[in-house]
Amino acid sequence: MRYKLLQEGDIQVCVIRHTRTFLSKAVGTSVSLPMHEPFVRPSRGNNKHFFPFSFVFLQPTGYMENSISYSAIEDVQLLSWENAPKYCLQLTIPGGTVLLQAANSYLRDQWFHSLQWKKKIYKYKKVLSNPSRWEVVLKEIRTLVDMALTSPLQDDSIHQAPLEIVSKLLSENNNLTTQDHESIIVAIAPLLENNHPPPDLCEFFCKHCRERPRSMVVIEVFTPVVQRILKHNMDFGKCPRLRLFTQEYILSLNELNAGMEVVKKFIHSMHGPTGQCPHPRVLPNLVAVCLAAIYSCYEEFINSRDNSPSLKEIRNGCQQQCDRKPNLPLRLLHTSPDLVSQEATLTESRLKPVIVTSNEIHVEVERNNTANQKMTASVGNDSEPNLIDCLMVSPTCSTMSIELSAQADRILGCYVEILKMLSDYDDWRPALASLLQPIPFPKEALAHEKFTKELKYVIQRFAEDPRQEVHSCLLSVRAGKDGWFQLYSPGGVACDDDGELFASMVHILMGSCYKTKKFLLSLAENKLGPCMLLALRGNQTMVEILCLMLEYNIIDNNDTQLQIISTLESTDVGKRMYEQLCERQRELKELQRKGGPTRLTLPSKSTDADLARLLSSGSFGNLENLSLAFTNVTSACAEHLIKLPSLKQLNLWSTQFGDAGLRLLSEHLTMLQVLNLCETPVTDAGLLALSSMKSLCSLNMNSTKLSADTYEDLKAKLPNLKEVDVRYTEAW
């Protein structure tokens, strides 16, 4: 039978025959026996039975003058002789005995095992606090572990208390041999199967991983411990030493002969053999360990730049000689003798590279007039600069070449490789993309060519994933901040190719839920040059982008439009797409010419091709009401619907029109007043886009996958909405 370990206040009433005694504190350094009300005064007639023990008799009110410490309890026994009081415990103390009576046998046994446990723990603390011979200490540790494993008490402290005792023992004795280390680790291993090691014990484990990474203890004992940490830990911020131990354990695996193959097998064991990892905490914990390890690689370098300018100072141009004490933007913790001479000649060689050397880090800083001009042009802007501007403009980072120590380089390679492994799992990729979206790396890492080159694999995996929740994380978290898209685009500090990754990111993002027009405007403002260059080299994605810019009138400047047209006509694929664009424009002008019907209804079972054929047959500039109800049209027909300038009412009842079509309509048909989406496969992802259609007066979402939250959001953002049908939806 299992019992709960007594906590403070668990024992409330104990009876000694007819005289009541009370125990309020059974856990701690002592046991106190106070009086509790109500108290029933015993009658004299029932006080005829006496026992051969020294009893503690209390008055109707008051407490014992002194508590009974656990160290004073010499023995705890269950009363079992004939005619003994029911459910009593006998506590033997110096000078007498105390009887405790419980309400039932289960409660009595709970008290008995709890008091025994506390008494033994006190004894082991005393014995192990003053170790004489380590053979005896090791034997006592094994006995302590066996006692914890066989105890009928069921409480976290039953296993934690021995671990804390051993942890304190190890922290106070630093002269142990390696063999002693391993013997102690093996002895306490059974307790670690279901318990996290205490902080001091984590320090001990970290030391062993660093000193003996090839020890079998690392594989046989530490592996299940680390697996449990990764599966169950909720916050490394509250227990950072658990993270540090996990980090050192993975590095010790990397030191084995098979190296990263062993690490790969460990990561696979954490994910599991199925396509879905059953442990939701594994990925966030692994990413936290990777981020901390990567940061540690640059930590000394970051600390050595304690006098470097802040981001705002960089933007405001405060990196001038009069504003900052050293001309050299780096002040290392360990200076070399040549540093003084370098500083003395710095003013004479401003255009030359300057090499700053420490015992572990080499930094090459090149100053150039271009960077200074950019920095000067930004004076007066008080806003905090974004990351890319900082890396491109800062003299300390613009052309920085960072060389890490051999150890830091191994750590960096190991943990970037782990990020690559994590990105290969389909079920982990969405969460990984979300965790990395804010770019949680120091700017020194982003300026390090080796790091960004290795991390490029992870970004490519995001760009290749068709799921919107994955590739949307390539963009910044919010407006005004930079994302991986900006970092790896041409001109970004991480771009090391001719724009192939940039083109693939643009291709996948154009098909996502992001507004096409808004995305094209952003490209036209910030990346028009790279787009034209890639189009000039025959990249089909960039050719499509330039054609869309012309089609949607994104470019206002005539000279820029002519330059784009010249770029398109310089390649075969561009020439073909531009001719198709011109043909569509002629058809569009014909379609939008005034005239034609004001109302139009397509026959049932009509398709997208039928609609396209009908609209290309004449002018529909006056068409205000279009019904496609009960037809077979899909989201593909949205490309034709957005060309109807006067359309105010659209009926899509019982069609296959979906979210992609809704997003396109919301960008172009801003004057639409009536929209019927009854029995269509639209979801919240598409319905949320309708919030930009401020002219909507009537909206039918009957029998769709509308949620209550989306419905409330639409009501708040559509002020003119008067008629709404949400029957047979979650919002009904």
Tens-digit pLDDT profile for residues 368-415: 333 334 334 443 444 444 544 444 444 344 445 678 889 999 999 999
Q: Residue 89: what pLDDT? A: 84
220-254 as b/e: b if 16+ CB within 10 A: ebbeebbbbbbeebeebeebebbbbbbbbbbbbbb
What CATH code would you report for 3-33+41-115?
2.30.29.30
58 with 19: CB under 8 angstroms? yes
User: What confidence tens digit (pLDDT) does each residue in 205-254 have?
Assistant: 998 999 899 988 898 999 999 999 999 998 898 889 999 999 999 999 99
Quick one: how far is CA 630 from the chain centroid? 45
CA separation for the pair 530, 284 (Å, rounded): 36
pLDDT tens per residue, range 134-162: 788 888 889 889 988 888 888 878 888 88
Q: What is the mean pLDDT of the chain?
A: 78
pLDDT value of residue 710:
92
CB atoms within 10 A of CB 58: 18
Q: Outline where 424-569 has alpha helix (H).
A: 429-436, 443-446, 449-464, 468-471, 484-487, 500-510, 516-526, 528-536, 540-551, 558-569
DSSP 348: G
Q: Please confirm whether the linkage preceding 52 is cis (ω < 30° from 0).
A: no
**Per-residue pLDDT, 480:** 77
Query: Which residues lie closer than 8 Å to 120 by C-beta, 6 or more apart?
Result: 147
In terms of C-beta distances under 8 Å and separation of at least 24 residues, what long-range contacts does 85-94 make, across chains too? 85/15, 85/16, 85/17, 88/16, 89/115, 90/53, 91/115, 93/68
Residue 111 has a pLDDT of 86
Q: What DSSP character marks residue 630?
A: T
Beta bridge partners of 627: 601, 651
Environment class of 40 (CB within 10 Å of its CB; exposed 0-12, middle 13-18, buried 19+): exposed
- What stretch(es) of the chain map to CATH 3.80.10.10? 599-725
Triad 261, 415, 435: Cα angle to 5°: 120
Residue 81: CB atoms within 10 A of its CB come to: 5
pLDDT tens profile 595-615: 778 899 988 888 999 898 888
CA-nearest of 350, 357, 355 to 365 is 355
Q: Which is higher by pLDDT, 334 or 650?
A: 650
pLDDT at 454 over 90: yes
The pLDDT value given to residue 427: 95
Rounded distance between C-alpha atoms, residue 405 and residue 297, angstroms: 9
**What homologous superfamily does CATH list for 599-725?**
Ribonuclease Inhibitor (3.80.10.10)
User: Is residue 340's pLDDT more than 60?
Assistant: no
Q: Which helix (H) or strand (E) holds 295?
A: helix 282-304
Location of each CATH 2.30.29.30 domain in the chain: 3-33+41-115
